């Protein structure tokens, strides 16, 4: 279906058409926000807030340093390996102003993964938090890094609080391993010495210029980088930002206009989902983002939200569950909350229902891919979200579902979801073969690898991933369906279903379960529960109870790792 299929079907106020040519470059939109919202708070982290003007000044200082005190040239790549702190937006905007490409780097990468990413991207500079500097010391000789900058957690805070927090992290909590990087430059000192000094605008200014190298696919092989251009990020900045223009039943705009919205950012900014929404879309609209450095520390996370009347929160299923388990979460003020956005992994019905009961706000599930910058579909909010779907295509986006031979299937039938739109990547960096394989033969449509159904109203339901599908005696079984059922059991906290080889049936279903605290649950009880709700071939055969499941840094359960564990066990046996 082309992009017009969704026109007229979206919620009140949601745009069917967007002018994607209003900015030539991302930094043009950022510069506009600096001027328009100068006196507004922009980002809060560790209890300290910086305004749009301060972010402007600090990022300008960083751009000056990069241009005048390093060998870096426009088009060179800088890797950023940080937690969600105030340094992140300063570094991103400063590097883009100086004409550099951004390589967002997961702080939890192994040293092998770091070497691969830095060398594959051609990164000449790295900004890392000192918590990870020991690994940088270990691998620097195997990279082409010319510049290493280090930062500490509280570097942007006032002096007393900065010293207290950084000393506690380093000397009491022992979170900073000893490292030796004599050539490393202090990010805080760079800003201090360059503050107030000018830079020469040298950003990558053409729509087709690649400005972000975003890595993906690390759990299924060697990570490859999606080339995201100015045009890609601008399109998705405008597409995802347009959802905030939604109106209520009285025609009143729910967010934006003169009133600043306060958004909570627990998902890591190095992830394209959070990067595009918080650093691009919400920043362009003048919104205030509260950065959460460690969302797994639930009580500190809640404490960071407490001073604010939150407008919106981005998260995913496991994060919502952990928040609701805390009694202190119920004490927050939800009176100004308009929406909760979920993406990155499937949202369980039970989670969505509990969240709405607790906060008064439904969860709007969205869908995207790194290769799409990332937003593809979004649900409306304020009661108009359609639970069990990922919403409708964002403006300017065409979708279709195809069968195994590449033919488009009718509305209402399942098939592999394909995407066409201005947010779709240029290709994979230095991987022409992988790029060709990720598109349809005509090169027009991105193959997502996700099985979906598009209904007559244009709402999209993601059934599962092609590669995660389990085949039991010739029947296709989708893990999301099983997990969605099991998650409704009151004693289940988290679960994951995978296929394991079986000589008779090809595969059988193995279920991994994490129970609620102090709860004893038997395989027999769970099997009986599944029997009442699932057809026979979908009932898990094997049950394993664990204290926790392997998760990505954004809280996505890693089925691939569970499969790898089984392979290792079989090799040992």
Taking only the tens place, the pLDDT of each residue in 122-137 is: 999 999 999 999 999 9
User: Which of 149, 184, 205 is the C-terminal boundary of a domain?
Assistant: 205
The whole-angstrom separation of Cα 272 and Cα 124 is 21
Quick one: 550 exposed, middle or buried, by C-beta within 10 A (0-12, 13-18, 19+)? middle
Residue 173 is classified by DSSP as: S
The pLDDT value given to residue 113: 83
The pLDDT value given to residue 400: 97
The pLDDT value given to residue 220: 39
The pLDDT value given to residue 218: 41
Containing domain of residue 102, as a range? Answer: 25-40+49-205
Query: Residue 465: beta bridge partners?
Result: 450
Instruction: With respect to residue 150, please indicate whether it lies within any of the assigned structural domains.
Output: yes
Tokens representing 70 are 């390093």
Q: What is the CATH number of the domain that holds 168?
A: 3.40.50.980
- The answer to whether the CB of 246 falls within 8 A of the CB of 294 is no
Instruction: With respect to residue 228, please indicate whether it lies within any of the assigned structural domains.
Output: no
Instruction: With respect to residue 326, please indicate whether it lies within any of the assigned structural domains.
Output: no
Tokens representing 373 are 């910058």
The whole-angstrom separation of Cα 138 and Cα 178 is 12
Tokens representing 83 are 């937690």
Q: What is the CATH number of the domain that holds 565?
A: 3.30.300.30
**Which residue is associated with the tokens 């270990």?**
138
**Coil, helix or strand for 122?**
coil
The whole-angstrom separation of Cα 560 and Cα 496 is 11
Nearest in space to 25 (alpha carbons), one of 318, 244, 232? 232
Instruction: With respect to residue 109, please indicate whether it lies within any of the assigned structural domains.
Output: yes
Scanning 342-473, the segments in alpha helix (DSSP H) are: 349-359, 432-437
Strand 363-368 relative to strand 339-342, pairing = parallel
How many structural domains are present in the chain? 2
Report the residue count for the chain: 573
**pTM for the predicted model, two decimal places:** 0.85
Tokens representing 28 are 């043009």
Strand 101-104 relative to strand 41-45, pairing = unpaired
Instruction: With respect to residue 411, please indicate whether it lies within any of the assigned structural domains.
Output: no
The whole-angstrom separation of Cα 237 and Cα 282 is 8
322, 346, 350, 487 from 480: Cα distances, Å: 20, 7, 13, 10
Nearest in space to 402 (alpha carbons), one of 455, 346, 345, 445? 445
Strand ranges (DSSP E) for 516-557?
A: 542-545
**Cis peptide bond N-terminal to 9, omega within 30:** no
Instruction: With respect to residue 121, please indicate whether it lies within any of the assigned structural domains.
Output: yes
The tens digit of pLDDT for each residue in 136-149 reads 999 999 999 999 99
- All residue ranges of the chain with pLDDT < 50 are 218-221
Alpha carbon 133 to its chain centroid, in Å, reads 24
User: Which of 205, 240, 267 is the C-terminal boundary of a domain?
Assistant: 205
Tokens representing 292 are 């959460």
The pLDDT value given to residue 117: 94
**Which residue is associated with the tokens 């005696």?**
473
Nearest in space to 103 (alpha carbons), one of 188, 226, 199, 203? 226
**Residues in CB range of 61: below 8 A, 6 or more apart:** 94, 190, 191, 194, 195, 196, 197
The pLDDT value given to residue 572: 67
The whole-angstrom separation of Cα 12 and Cα 143 is 51
The whole-angstrom separation of Cα 436 and Cα 446 is 10
- The answer to whether the CB of 351 falls within 8 A of the CB of 320 is yes
Residue 11 is classified by DSSP as: P
Instruction: With respect to residue 307, please indicate whether it lies within any of the assigned structural domains.
Output: no
User: Which of 177, 205, 233 is the C-terminal boundary of a domain?
Assistant: 205
Number of Cβ within 10 Å of residue 356's Cβ equals 16
Instruction: With respect to residue 233, please indicate whether it lies within any of the assigned structural domains.
Output: no
**Residues in CB range of 331: below 8 A, 6 or more apart:** 306
């Amino acid at each position: 279906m082309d992009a017009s299929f969704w026109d007229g079907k979206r919620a009140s106020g949601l745009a069917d058409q967007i002018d994607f040519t209003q900015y030539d470059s991302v930094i043009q939109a950022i510069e506009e926000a600096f001027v328009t919202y100068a006196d507004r708070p922009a980002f809060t982290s560790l209890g300290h807030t910086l305004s749009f003007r301060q972010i402007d000044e600090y990022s300008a200082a960083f751009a000056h340093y990069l241009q005048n005190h390093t060998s870096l040239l426009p088009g060179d790549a800088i890797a950023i390996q940080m937690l969600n702190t105030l340094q992140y937006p300063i570094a991103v905007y400063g590097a883009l102003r100086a004409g550099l490409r951004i390589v967002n780097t997961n702080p939890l990468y192994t040293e092998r993964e770091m070497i691969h990413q830095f060398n594959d991207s051609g990164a000449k500079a790295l900004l890392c938090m000192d918590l990870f500097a020991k690994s940088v010391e270990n691998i620097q000789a195997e990279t082409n890094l010319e510049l290493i900058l280090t930062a500490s957690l509280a570097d942007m805070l006032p002096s007393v609080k900065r010293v207290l927090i950084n000393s506690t992290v380093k000397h009491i909590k022992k979170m900073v391993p000893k490292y030796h990087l004599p050539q490393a430059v202090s990010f805080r000192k760079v800003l201090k010495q360059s503050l107030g000094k000018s830079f020469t605008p040298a950003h990558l200014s053409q729509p087709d210029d690649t400005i972000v190298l975003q890595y993906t696919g690390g759990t299924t092989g060697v990570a490859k980088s999606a080339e995201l251009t100015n045009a890609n990020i601008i399109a998705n900045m405008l597409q995802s930002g347009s959802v905030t223009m939604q109106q209520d039943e009285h025609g009143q705009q729910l967010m934006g206009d003169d009133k600043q919205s306060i958004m909570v950012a627990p998902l890591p900014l190095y992830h394209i989902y959070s990067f595009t929404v918080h650093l691009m879309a919400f920043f362009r609209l003048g919104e205030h983002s509260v950065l959460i450095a460690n969302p797994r520390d639930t009580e500190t996370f809640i404490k960071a939200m407490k001073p604010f009347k939150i407008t919106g929160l981005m998260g995913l299923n496991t994060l919502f569950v952990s928040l609701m388990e805390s009694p202190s979460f119920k004490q927050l003020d939800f009176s100004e909350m308009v929406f909760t956005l979920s993406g990155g992994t499937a949202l369980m019905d039970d989670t969505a229902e509990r969240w709405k009961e607790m906060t008064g706000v439904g969860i709007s599930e969205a869908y995207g891919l790194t290769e799409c910058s990332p937003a593809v579909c979004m649900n409306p909010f304020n009661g108009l979200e359609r639970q069990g779907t990922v919403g409708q295509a964002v403006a300017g986006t065409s979708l279709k579902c195809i069968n195994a031979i590449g033919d488009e299937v009718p509305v209402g039938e399942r098939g592999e979801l394909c995407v066409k739109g201005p947010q779709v990547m240029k290709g994979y960096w230095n991987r022409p073969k992988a790029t060709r394989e990720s598109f349809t033969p005509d090169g027009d449509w991105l193959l997502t690898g996700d099985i979906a159904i598009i209904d007559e109203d244009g709402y999209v339901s993601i059934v599962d991933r092609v590669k995660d599908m389990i085949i039991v005696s010739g029947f296709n079984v989708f893990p999301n369906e099983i997990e969605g059922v099991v998650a409704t059991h009151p004693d289940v906290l988290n679960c994951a279903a995978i296929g394991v080889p079986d000589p008779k049936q090809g595969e059988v279903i193995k279920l991994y379960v994490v129970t609620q605290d102090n709860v004893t649950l038997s395989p027999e009880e769970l099997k009986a529960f599944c029997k009442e709700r699932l057809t026979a071939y979908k009932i898990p055969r094997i049950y394993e109870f664990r204290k926790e499941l392997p998760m990505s840094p954004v809280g996505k359960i890693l089925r691939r790792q569970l499969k790898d564990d089984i392979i290792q066990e079989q090799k040992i046996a």
